[in-house]
Structure 1
Amino acid sequence: MLKKSKRLMVVASLFLIFSLVFTAAAQAEVKNIILMIGDGMGIGQMDMTRYMAGDKDYKLEMMKMPNVGLMMTSSTEGVTDSAAAGTAMATGNKVYNGAVAMNKNGAELDSVLDFAEVRNKATGIISTNMVTDATPATFAASVKDRGMGGEIAKQILDNDVDVVLGGGREDFMKEEAGEDLIAKAKKMGYQYVTDKEQLKRVMPMNGKVVGLFNDSYMNYIKDRDDLDSKEPSLLEMTTKAIDVLSEDEDGFFLMAEGARIDHAAHAADVPGVVAETLDFDASIKYAVDWARENGNTMVVVVADHETLGFSVTEPINKEALMNIEVSPEYMAGKLVETESGNAYTIDSIQRVFKEYANLELTEREAREFNSNIVNEDDGSLYYQYKVGWQIGSIIAKKNNVGVVAADVRAKSDTGGHTLNSVPIFAFGPETEGFNGVIQNTEFSKVLFEAMRP
């Protein structure tokens, strides 16, 4: 990893060349950029949310934004993962799946967040996943593999990102990072918070904050009451981030990710997708309202890719689905293992489906479920989240949800991502560049150009 000063010298040189080329057609620099990424959120997830939360003609807030485009989503391997997708959007380069702002030759790729720092803007990343996960990482770090969470956490601090909010506390600990990065952040002047009440008390004029609200990814919205969670919503994190970053007179760049839309979609979890998308949409409304009031602010809403081919079918059982109050992952945690440890008891499988999804599974169906949650290599049970995928797929099938089938998902290296194009919605100055159909590598060009003087 290049030291920040060296990386920014490279970016600054490119920036100077870029500026000279476009001097003749120069427009006023956009002061603030708020980029909202709904991970895995294709048109199907949006339509599912608006139909389930409203009716067939209901519009989400993002759908009211004036400029609309469509973005293609491939990586160099075809169907993309979030790391390659984020890299394309953040840097303008297609890479292999798993790469975080780094090409196949090991060269680091500078992002729009790096570019914002050259312009002396404050910067921030937010995610309802881990802040070290693929999408936020592509804006603030460069590593060869998305699984290098400790190294990504180091680079986030070394790159002096001003606001860092989300999950992923374990990657900032000595066991993962090789040093106590939370202690380091405090010495660097960051305010450090761990729950939503502490976040509310953050003083914007102090300028820098790290909020890590879970050791791993943040809990699903629908599970938080049952888990007695003290985590903030994406709306609460976005509100505080804008409060802090807007103190910078040179402006700011903020990337806020509604990450668990994707996780819910992997599990074919309709009520989960709806809840996570509504939280994302509320954050968008706040950002647009703030931009409208304060001016000279670009707000862009996009997904990195689509997950599991969601669609609203004619026979979908809306009422039954929206009566489900917890995630399939939560349900998986209520199953009881057999003494052998390589299956769940038939009774607990039937009880969980009945109690949480109001579905009656036959003994044969319960045994089939058991056969689909075992690793072929060693006979061990899937991790809880992947057991949740199987639970969600059964619920979806029995309620006539339009999604990729579980057996097709099982053959997918990405766990069910598709090549489907995704919508772009934008508000504010210079957002006309998002109109039309673009490649994911063209996405960042509009952001780069918006920040030139």
Structure 2
Amino acid sequence: MKTIQPILIVIILLSLLAFSFPGSCGFAANPPRKNVIFMIMDGTNSDIVTLSRWYKGSALNLDKILAGGVRTYSGESAITDSAAAGSAMATGRKTRADYIGMNAKGKPVLTVLEAARLSGYGTGIVATSPVQHATPAAFTSHVLNRDDFGDIGEQQVYQELDVILGGGAAWLKPKPKNAVKNDDGMLKTKQISREDGENHIATIKSGSSYSFITKKEGLSKRNSGERLWGAFAEEDLAYDFDRKALKPDEPTLAEMTRAAIGRLSDKDKGFFLMVEGSKVDWAAHKNDPVGMISEVLSFDQAVGEALKFAEKDGNTMVIAVTDHGNSGLTLGNADTDKTYKSQPRENFIEPLKKAKYTVKGATSQLKKDRSNLKEVLKAYGLTGLSKKEYCLMDEAKSVGDLENEMVKLMAKRSNLGFSTHGHTGEDVFLYAYGPGKPAGLIENTELPQVMAGYLGFALDSGPFSDWYLDGKEFFRERGYRVLIDKRDNKNPELVVTRGDEELRFPENKNFYFRNGEAVKLKSVNVHSGGRFYIHWEE
């Protein structure tokens, strides 16, 4: 017994000494890497999720992680748009329609993605729309008008994200100098480009930190530590049902998600990734059930990629949600008022399965003389038309009118109803997986708070809560003369002077000039609504 006591004392002392050594000696464990993958299925209501599951014939990846619901209304309306909804989910603030990364008063608010980058996490966005579109824009930029794609795109270039994958190459390019014009001076074709003359593809390529790719093959090629920008279309990527035949060089949403996760998983601290399945919303605006199913299933495959990583990793929170409903799609319509009790699911699904393409994919193959109209209708699954039905198609004055007639007939054959071509205001499903995941019926503004909390920072308190300053007010209070230089109205600058010191802040950039010498900033300069907002640390 006497010999055991000294041994116990030695063991206890050694244990206490081990815990007393500083972390630099290697005894303290490193904190676990944490990741958040936030996935948004734009403009999706519950009926199309049900319809997509039946179309697929088996459970969705989303079904495994159903956790609750999300309220979607904006700061001014019971029915939100994607800008206000995206901004609410990015900043934790309800705001107005068309506002991107702004509060309801029009002041920039730091987003959860920006805060994650400032906190040392890797960051990325993935979208099937132009990356300058409302939802990805809401996480990466600050403007009062969601249509300011030029400003949004420029801010994204200077945000220094690690991964950007999607469409929108057009808004990185200046206007072509040799654009072909008609005799009246108008461009022969729609030319989407930057108004300020800057070439941001050149900007992206000029540094050694980015790899710029335009085809899906580039996703598998990489150099260690290299950032990745993939611009796979001038505007939006193809609908998934159309992609293989019509746009084979474009990647799927699942492929982009997998590539983004692969890049970001190298980050020592972890990462924040926002993934948007953008075009359920676009198809819903057209009332095209085939297009809607195409993009729900495409999104669900991307969710599968996120879950595969998260299940293996153990420290990844995955959240999937839609920002709002769209179209008011219903399983059942006026024709089923008295027959709904005897409608097997095949009555809803089989007409849809005859379509090889979405309505946009089908009509994209229409010849100018419409000599292949029957083939186009067949490509959308519309065969055996009555004379009246065919005449409605044949007499359509534009491609838009033709598409409208096609989707109406498809909805009728599939026993589906649509109440609007616009958004709807219902609560939407919340899907979540992993440590710290949200659950229950919550506000959309709670989502960024949950994600920020898991990553170890706060958006509504501390340095991130009031990040952007009104540049004019800030510098005038410190004795500077202040003006906004608009001599180049496409590239205005905030100019402040005091004595022999001059500071110039170009809009949308992450630097300023002190007496002509560039100085790096932590955030981009925002010029919106006649005001210049900056972040400044004294």
Give the TM-score range, shorter chain: 0.7 to 0.9
Displacement after TM superposition at 1:358 (Å): 2.8
Q: Counterpart amino acid of 1:128?
A: T
The CA distance in 1 between the partners of 2:146 and 2:51, in whole Å, is: 30
Tell me what 1:53 maps to.
56
Per the alignment, residue 281 of structure 1 pairs with 300
Q: Tell me the equivalent position of 1:41.
A: 44
Shift of 1:144: 0.9
Q: 2:222 aligns with which of 178, 194, 202?
A: 202
- Residue 77 (structure 2) pairs with residue 71 (structure 1): no
How far residue 428 of structure 1 moved from its aligned partner, in angstroms, is 0.9
Is 1:446 the counterpart of 2:450 in the alignment? yes
Is contact 1:330–1:388 with CA below 8 Å preserved after alignment? no
One-letter identity of the residue aligned with 2:44: M
1:266 corresponds to: 285
Are residue 62 (structure 1) and residue 38 (structure 2) matched?
A: no
Contact 2:351 2:413 in 1 (8 A): no
2:381 aligned residue: 357
Residue 414 of structure 2: aligned partner = 399
- 1:4 aligned residue: none
Correspondence for 1:298: 317
Aligned to 1:120: 120
1:235-274 map, 5 Å: 235-274=254-293
Kept in 2: contact 1:47–1:311 (CA 8 A): no
By relative contact order (CA 8 Å, sep 6+), the higher-ranking structure is 1
Distance change (3 Å), C-alpha of 1:32 and 1:386: farther
Tell me, in whole angstroms, the C-alpha distance in 2 between the residues paired with 1:304 and 1:221: 20
**Post-superposition CA distance 1:7-34 (Å, at most 9, x none):** xxxxxxxxxxxxxxxxxxxxx8871100
- Once the two structures are superposed, residues 295-333 of structure 1 have per-residue CA deviations (whole angstroms, 9 ceiling, x without a partner) of 211111111111112333454431121120011112333
Opposite residue 362 of structure 2, the aligned amino acid is: M
Within the candidate set 348, 369, 374, 1:317 is matched to 348
Instruction: Call closer, same or farther: CA 1:368–1:79 in 2, change over 3 Å.
Output: farther
8 A Cα contact 1:71 1:423, kept in partner: yes
Q: What is the one-letter code of the residue matched to 2:380?
A: Y
Cα drift, residue 370 of structure 1 = 7.5
User: Unmatched 5+ residue regions in structure 2?
Assistant: 1-30, 176-192, 333-339, 458-538
Offset at 1:256? 0.6
Which SS does the other structure have where 1:86 is aligned?
A: helix
What's the offset of the Cα at 1:444?
1.7
The amino acid that maps onto 2:67 is V
Q: CA deviation at 1:168?
A: 0.7
Cα distance 1:445–1:30, how it changes in 2: closer, same or farther (>3 A)? farther
For 2:164, the equivalent position in structure 1 comes to 164
* In 1: Cα distance, 2:352 partner to 2:432 partner: 31
Q: Match of 1:357, SS? A: coil
Distance (Å, rounded) in 2 between the aligned partners of 1:94 and 1:222: 35
Equivalent pair of 1:86/1:134 in contact (CA under 8 Å): yes
Cα pair distance change 1:390/1:40, threshold 3 Å: farther
Q: Secondary structure at the match of 2:245?
A: coil
Which whole-Å CA distance do the structure 2 matches of 1:311 and 1:61 have between them?
Answer: 22
Give the C-alpha shift of residue 365 in structure 1. Answer: 4.2
Amino acid of the structure 2 residue aligned with 1:118: L
2 CA distance for matches of 1:282 and 1:385?
30
| Cα distance in 1 between the residues matched to 2:295 and 2:304 | 14
Deviation for aligned residue 1:201: 1.4
1:366 deviates by 5.2
Q: Deviations over 1:257-308 (max 9, x none)?
A: 1111222222333332223222211221221121121121111111111111
Tell me the distance in 1 between the aligned counterparts of 2:111 and 2:400: 31
Tell me the TM-score normalized by structure 2.
Answer: 0.69
Structure-1 separation of matches of 2:95 and 2:405:
31
* Alignment partner of 1:330 is 2:361: yes
- Partner in structure 2 of residue 180 of structure 1: 199
Counterpart residue identity of residue 281, structure 2? D
Q: Which of 429, 433, 436 pairs up with 2:435?
A: 429
Which amino acid counterpart does residue 409 of structure 2 have in structure 1? I
Q: Closer, same or farther in 2 for the Cα pair 1:450/1:35, shift >3 Å?
A: same
Query: Would the aligned equivalents of 2:99 and 2:106 in 1 still touch at CA under 8 Å?
Result: no
Q: Structure 2 counterpart of 1:43, which letter?
A: S
Corresponding residue for residue 92 of structure 1: 92
CA–CA separation in structure 1 for the residues paired with 2:401 and 2:115: 38
The whole-number CA distance in structure 2 between the counterparts of 1:387 and 1:133 is 26
* Cα root mean square deviation, aligned: 2.3
Between the aligned partners of 1:180 and 1:52, the Cα distance in structure 2 is 44
One-letter amino acid of the structure 1 residue matched with residue 403 of structure 2: G
Structure-2 separation of matches of 1:39 and 1:386: 24
* 1:140-178 Cα deviation digits (max 9, x unpaired): 001111111111111011111110000111011113333
Query: Deviations for 1:315-355, whole angstroms, at most 9, x for unmatched residues?
Result: 443112112001111233344567xxxxxx6x765663245
1:443 partner letter? L
Give the equivalent residue in structure 2 for 1:214.
233
Structure 2 distance, partners of 1:36, 1:207, is 24
**Unaligned segments of structure 1, at least 5 residues:** 1-27, 339-344, 375-380, 410-415
- Displacement of 1:70 in angstroms is 0.5
- Name the counterpart of 1:23: none
How much has 1:368 moved relative to structure 2? Answer: 4.9
Aligned residues: 394
Displacement of 1:118 in angstroms is 2.0
Contact 1:353/1:360 (<8 A) preserved: no
* Bigger helix fraction: 1
CA pair 139-279 structure 1, distance change in 2 beyond 3 A: same
Q: Deviations over 1:195-237 (max 9, x none)?
A: 111122133x233110000001001111123314200111111
Structure 1 or 2, whichever has the larger Rg, is 2
| Distance of 1:160 and 1:238 partners within structure 2 | 19
Shift of 1:364: 4.4
Letter in 2 for 1:214: A
Q: Is the 8 A contact 1:86 1:304 kept in 2?
A: yes
